[in-house]
Amino acid sequence: MKLFRKPSREPLWRDEFSVFSGEEKYVSRRQFSKFLVLTSLGMFVGNLWILVRSWFSRQPSYPVMAITHVDEVPVRGVKLFQYPTPQEQCILLRTGTDTYVAYSQKCTHLSCAVFYSAATNRLECPCHNGAFSVHDGSPLQGPPRRPLPRVVLTRKGDVLVATGIQLEG
Amino acid sequence: MEQKTSQSATRSVTAIDGAMALIVILLIVQIWLVSATLETYLAGHHETALPGTIISGAIFLACFGLYLFIERIDAESHKP
């Protein structure tokens, strides 16, 4: 079985720009299908690129960083901080006398900054009226479907320390 | 004889059109797959990258197979 066309003795331009009208429909279809298959190859390469990127960033390491003194934030009060890089804005909430939670401030819909609404006791996104639970960061209302990334906190004496980021709940 | 050749040419063009339509459908699925894999990767879910790549590779191979089919029909139509 012959897979490809036999190479013509004619130059390529004469093969691709035939003077016979009957040949033209084959040339245009062949060229278009070649373009489609090359696009498909491009998509596959894109997927491979995502795979390689995810392979190298599978387990990101997070720094251990002191956030605040425990008495600095009042009950139902908030403190903004940057973690794990100075570009990543996060929000710390004191939900009870001895309970603290912290989340990334980026809404999981379109990355607007969420803020704490004391009236409704939830984290709200002003862009599209999204809302998240203060207890686990899960979406409660609006377009967001994923929970807010949670900053893992540990208490060392009187200091709250961030040790990592938990993506699910 | 001439009518037979004309019928054969029509049949081969129809087969090529069918194969091209299949390639287009596969390509649409593949574009959706890449965008879905990218979105889940950016959301921090790395576990979808491998199955996404395998399926994308399979779709590319199917497209390439259809392209070979088109080439074969094209080669047959050029037979003297």
Could you report the per-residue pLDDT of B43-68, keeping only the tens digit for each? 777 888 999 999 999 999 999 999 99
Per the domain annotation, does B5 fall within a domain?
A: no
Structure tokens belonging to residue A68: 């605040």
Per the domain annotation, does B9 fall within a domain?
A: no
Q: Give A1-27 pLDDT, tens digit per residue.
A: 455 556 666 676 666 666 766 667 777
Note down the domain range covering B64. 19-77
Per the domain annotation, does A1 fall within a domain?
A: no
Give chain B's domain count: 1
Same domain for A131 and A75: yes
Task: List all residues 6 or more positions away from A101 whose beta carbon is below 8 Å from its beta carbon.
Answer: A92, A93, A95, A134, A135, A137, A150, A153
Same domain for A101 and A28: no
Contacts of A146 in chain B (CB under 8 A): 43
Per the domain annotation, does B58 fall within a domain?
A: yes
Contacts of B71 in chain A (CB under 8 A): 3-5, 30
What's the rounded Cα separation, in Å, for the pair B46 and B69? 36
Same domain for A154 and A103: yes
Q: Of B13, B50, B52, which has the smallest distance from its Cβ to A25's Cβ?
A: B13
Note down the domain range covering A25. 12-56
Using 50 as the pLDDT threshold, list the residues of chain A that sit under it: 1, 169
Q: Mutate which of A32, A38, A44, A148 to test chain B, going by most B C-beta atoms within 10 A?
A: A44
Structure tokens belonging to residue A154: 């540990």
**What Å distances lie between residue A96 and A53, A75, A76, A104, A107, CA to CA?**
40, 6, 7, 20, 24
Same domain for A102 and A143: yes
Q: Give B13-48 pLDDT, tens digit per residue.
A: 888 899 999 999 999 999 999 999 998 888 777 888
